[in-house]
Amino acid sequence: MKEFKILSATAILGYGFPEESFKEGMKRKPDVIAVDAGSTDPGPYYLGAGKSFTNRDAVKRDLEIILENGVKNKIPVIIGTAGGSGGEVHLNWCKDIIYEIANEKNLNFKLATIHSEFSKEDIKDALKKGKITPLGPASHLTEELIDETTTIVGQMGLEPYLKALDEDVDVILGGRTYDPVVFAAPAIKSGYNKGLALHLGKILECSSICATPGSGSDCMFGYLGRDYFRLEPLNPTRKCTTVSVAAHTLYEKTNPYILPGPGGYLDLRECEFIQDSENIVRVSGSKFVSSSKYTIKLEGAKLIGYRTVSIAGARDPIMIEKIDEIIAGVKERVRDNFKSKNWNYYLDIKIYGKNAVMGNLEINPTTSDCHEIGVVIEAVCDNQDKADTICAFARSSMLHFGYEGRKATAGNLAFPYSPSDFHGGEVYNFSIYHLMEVDDLDNIFKIDYETL
């Protein structure tokens, strides 16, 4: 069985890659060029607001190289989670770029577009039938919450991509997609092991992050055999090691051995990582276990308010020592000042240098060894003016807050910018983060075909 070869262009479409790395990948004559174009990592804003977290010019640059090489060499190009979040507006945003490139480069190809956005009525119907359950810390879904949600997408698995590949398409543009699928689907269609293909796809979706030194802005090449796969970086400055590849296999997991996805899970308990050559790692033993029920993950975002942020720094060792009581005092001052307004607001003050990254999970909660701190004041309210008011009052209160032992009276904070307060704009949260049981995989994700 000959090796199936996959070129992963970059960790996320728009993150870029060196053209020399891509050329090295093309020299190896890949069977498919695939790229993941989105993630929930940047948070719910982009899904709710209908915007991409990647820059249009950067996405177009990457796509120009990928499409021109793929189409002219008759190599299928597969793109998942278009526009960053995979909703209908994100899909159309990315499709417009593809149209633009096809016109400018005079490219002719058959395009499949796979849709992943759900109507609120469809989700309500599934909820009434008892087919939706919370995922992780999410609460039970309600019709009220569905109505408040702006956009709802479902994370599709292999099936829609396999269906599109049956139509002999040249380019597939997918909505919200389980990350490994765009790499694994063409290999599985060609008869390769599902578990190995999905495990390889899980690593390739982040391109060269699995190498050392790692990068999300470089290409990676995968070879899939009958009972193994191999990973090769395409930049001579990088190499794959058993440690770097095994470490990336643990990426984004709550369980180091089990990776759930649509229709089942990857069982990695019998995986072996072997150094095949100086810069290539060989992996075997990955298994896919089907679930008794086929579920997909639903993601939805709702508008919860508007944000204003102020950034400052402090260097007074006495203030740093007493920062917790100062923050408590500032919050109480804000509460007291606006208690007659009955405003529903959120006020947070993060101290960089003291638990700002890990919060309550910090294992070393101290500021005893730091000589300066960064202060980020955040206010969220139901409109921008109120958020401005709460943030400005908290900022001025902290600037002149008196504390025991204070010597300097000129002000406690140093502001790197003027104006000191920034509009963060709309704030969204993940109102839907649930699993939905699916019976009819053939029709749940609509596919459009067109020839450009």
pLDDT in tens, 12-24: 999 999 999 999 9
Q: State whether 286 and 355 are in the same domain.
A: no
**Which domain range does residue 398 map to?**
316-413
Q: State whether 295 and 403 are in the same domain.
A: no
Q: Examine residue 423 and state whether it is found in any structural domain, yes or no.
A: no
How much is the pLDDT for 368? Answer: 64
Q: Examine residue 309 and state whether it is found in any structural domain, yes or no.
A: no
How much is the pLDDT for 367? Answer: 58
Distance CA 224, CA 434 (A): 33
The alpha carbon torsion through 175, 84, 347, 330 (nearest 10 deg) reads 160
Looking at the DSSP bridge assignments, the partners of residue 373 are: 314
Q: Examine residue 277 and state whether it is found in any structural domain, yes or no.
A: yes
Q: State whether 367 and 393 are in the same domain.
A: yes
Q: Examine residue 367 and state whether it is found in any structural domain, yes or no.
A: yes
CB atoms under 10 Å from CB of 277, counted, come to 11
Tell me the per-residue pLDDT of 334-375, one tens digit each, with 9 for 90 and over: 999 999 999 999 999 999 988 888 888 888 776 567 889 999
How much is the pLDDT for 421? Answer: 97
Q: For residues 363 and 165, which has the higher predicted lDDT (pLDDT)?
A: 165
The alpha carbon torsion through 178, 179, 180, 184 (nearest 10 deg) reads 70
Q: For residues 253 and 273, which has the higher predicted lDDT (pLDDT)?
A: 273
Q: Examine residue 275 and state whether it is found in any structural domain, yes or no.
A: yes
Q: State whether 233 and 336 are in the same domain.
A: no
Q: How buried is residue 225: exposed, middle or buried, by Cβ count under 10 Å (0-12/13-18/19+)?
A: middle
Rounded to whole angstroms, the maximal C-alpha distance in the chain is 77
Tell me the per-residue pLDDT of 441-450, one tens digit each, with 9 for 90 and over: 888 999 999 9
How much is the pLDDT for 254? Answer: 84
Q: State whether 323 and 362 are in the same domain.
A: yes
Q: Examine residue 428 and state whether it is found in any structural domain, yes or no.
A: no
Q: Examine residue 308 and state whether it is found in any structural domain, yes or no.
A: no
Q: State whether 332 and 375 are in the same domain.
A: yes
**Range in 128-137, 194-203, 251-260 the model is least confident about:** 251-260
**Token pair of 232, please?**
């090769």
Q: Residue 39: which of 27, 30, 48, 52 has the closest Cα?
A: 52
Q: What is the residue type of 403?
A: Y
Q: State whether 133 and 219 are in the same domain.
A: yes
Q: State whether 260 and 339 are in the same domain.
A: no
How much is the pLDDT for 1? Answer: 85
Q: Examine residue 305 and state whether it is found in any structural domain, yes or no.
A: no
Token pair 């193994």 is at which residue? 228
Q: State whether 128 and 102 are in the same domain.
A: yes
Q: State whether 290 and 348 are in the same domain.
A: no
Rg of the Cα atoms in the chain? 25
- Cis, peptide link before residue 213, omega less than 30° from 0: yes
**Range in 115-124, 306-315, 439-448 the model is least confident about:** 439-448
Using 50, 70 and 90 to split pLDDT, how confident is the model at 196?
A: very high
Tell me the per-residue pLDDT of 87-119, one tens digit each, with 9 for 90 and over: 999 999 999 999 999 999 999 999 999 999 999
Question: What domain count does the chain have?
Answer: 2
- Cis, peptide link before residue 419, omega less than 30° from 0: yes
Please, what is the average pLDDT of the chain? 95
**Token pair of 347, please?**
């006020």
Please state the pTM of the whole predicted model. 0.93
Q: State whether 369 and 447 are in the same domain.
A: no
Tell whether the model's pLDDT for residue 191 goes beyond 80.
Answer: yes
Distance CA 106, CA 210 (A): 36
CB atoms under 10 Å from CB of 346, counted, come to 14
Tell me the per-residue pLDDT of 217-230, one tens digit each, with 9 for 90 and over: 999 999 999 999 99
Strand order in the sheet with 110-114: 272-275, 281-284, 229-233, 220-224, 4-8, 32-36, 77-80, 171-174, 110-114, 447-451
Tell whether the model's pLDDT for residue 202 goes beyond 70.
Answer: yes
Cα three-residue angle 255-43-63, rounded to 5 degrees: 95
Using 50, 70 and 90 to split pLDDT, how confident is the model at 39?
A: very high
3-state secondary structure the chain: CCCEEEEECCCCCCCCCCHHHHHHHHHCCCCEEEEECCCCCCCCHHHHHCCCCCCHHHHHHHHHHHHHHHHHCCCCEEEECHHHCCCHHHHHHHHHHHHHHHHHHCCCCEEEEECCECCHHHHHHHHHCCCEEECCCCCCCCHHHHHHEEEEEECECCHHHHHHHCCCCCEEEECCECCCHHHHHHHHHCCCCHHHHHHHHHHHCCHHHHCECCCCCCCEEEEECCCCEEEEECCCCCECCHHHHHHHHCCCCCCCCEEEECCEEEECCCCEEEECCCCCEEEECCEEEECCCCEEEEEEEEEEEEEEEEEEEECCHHHHHCHHHHHHHHHHHHHHHCCCCCCCCEEEEEEECCCCCCHHHCCCCCCCCCCCEEEEEEEEECCHHHHHHHHHHHHHHHHCCCCCCCCCCCCCCECCCCCCEEEEEEEEEEEEEEEEECCCHHHHCCEEEEEC
Q: State whether 18 and 110 are in the same domain.
A: yes
